[in-house]
Amino acid sequence: MTATAAPKTLHIARKLMSLLGKIQITDDAGNVLYESRARWGWLSQPWSITQDGREVAAVTRKLWSFTPIWNVSTNEENFILRGKLWSWRRQITVVGGRFDGAMLRGSLLDMDFELARHGQVIARAQAKVMTLRTRHSIDLLDTTPQAELLTAILMTNLLAQKREDNNMAAAEPTPPHLQ
């Protein structure tokens, strides 16, 4: 964490009427800092994260892996996000790159999240309740541009996972005894 910089607050929300998925990350003044869009894909949807109209990161889910894995490519480095299988709480670990070992951990109901590396908290996120769309406020404690981008990538990944979870739950047929 940078000692001289004050914590910064970001807000992440999914757009309401987006076919493939669009997520915006804004500051307190409502200025769009990052925009994430799902691109069309045959088996998985890669995500593109842009800042001021230029791509700064791409996230692609690795197919046919036992645990959930995403390959991340930024302008500066490549790394992997690895989800934990069979856990009561959502947990994503960064493997490789500058933030190797950083971990995003969620609360039991996916309302609160904490991103930390080696015991040092980088960011905390809290879900907003009573909104039409998925929305989180993020307190960025490490205000370096690299930590901000990592937080944007992880929170975008989180909202994409929640969207996939909701789509799978909606696609499951109703058991005959409940019809």
Reported pTM: 0.82
SS3 per-residue string spanning 92-119: EEEECCCCCCCEEEECCCCCEEEEEECC
Measuring CA to CA, which residue among 50, 48, 77 is closest to residue 157?
Answer: 48
Bridge partners of 144, per DSSP, are none
165 three-state secondary structure: helix
Neighbours of 132 (CB within 10 A): 8
Confidence (pLDDT) at 5:
67
pLDDT, tens digit (0-9, with 9 covering 90-100), for 79-118: 999 998 877 788 999 999 999 999 999 887 767 899 999 9
Confidence (pLDDT) at 107:
83
pLDDT, tens digit (0-9, with 9 covering 90-100), for 141-178: 999 999 999 999 998 888 877 766 555 555 556 555 55
Confidence (pLDDT) at 38:
85
Confidence (pLDDT) at 69:
93
Whole-angstrom CA distances from 144 to 60, 98, 104, 148, 150 are 24, 12, 18, 6, 10
- CA 163, 38, 109: angle at the middle one, nearest 5? 20
Are the C-beta atoms of residues 33 and 25 closer than 8 Å to each other? yes
pLDDT, tens digit (0-9, with 9 covering 90-100), for 12-58: 887 655 555 788 999 989 999 999 998 876 667 789 999 999 999 99
2 three-state secondary structure: coil
pLDDT higher than threshold 60 for residue 128? yes
